[in-house]
Amino acid sequence: MLCPHCSKSIGVAAITEQRGKGLGAQFQCPHCTAWLGRSPWLQRLKMLGFYTALACGIYAYWYQEARHAMIPAAIFALILLLVCHLMDHLHTVEAPIKDEAPDPGPKYR
């Protein structure tokens, strides 16, 4: 994973701080201490698309008379799944507080 705040690579084993549970869970970047997370509603839509496509595919396989309606529904559910997957990226929930450095003085040319 790449941190959207500091653009450094994050290994799963390097994550030590986590808050929240379920789809709204957040974790802290070990490099810049920014809190990162994903959008819970996009994850819900992604799961809805997956399970709808799976249910429509199984139903269309076992009931021949419903194929004309279930196959397009499964295709739309897969499109929903793929679009939500492309939109679901890590975002910075809480950026770290920057300490203001003292003025180094006049700059010379």
In order along the chain (109 residues), what is the average pLDDT of each group of 10 residues?
A: 86 87 88 88 95 96 93 96 92 78 68
pLDDT of residue 109: 64
What SS3 class is residue 25? coil
| Domain residue extents for the chain | 12-94
What Rg value do the Cα atoms of the chain yield, rounded? Answer: 22
pLDDT of residue 44: 94
pLDDT of residue 50: 97
The dihedral built from the CA positions of residue 94, 99, 105 and 109, taken in this order, carries a sign that is negative
Residue 9 structure tokens: 């690579």
8-state DSSP, 98: P
Whether pTM exceeds 0.75 = no
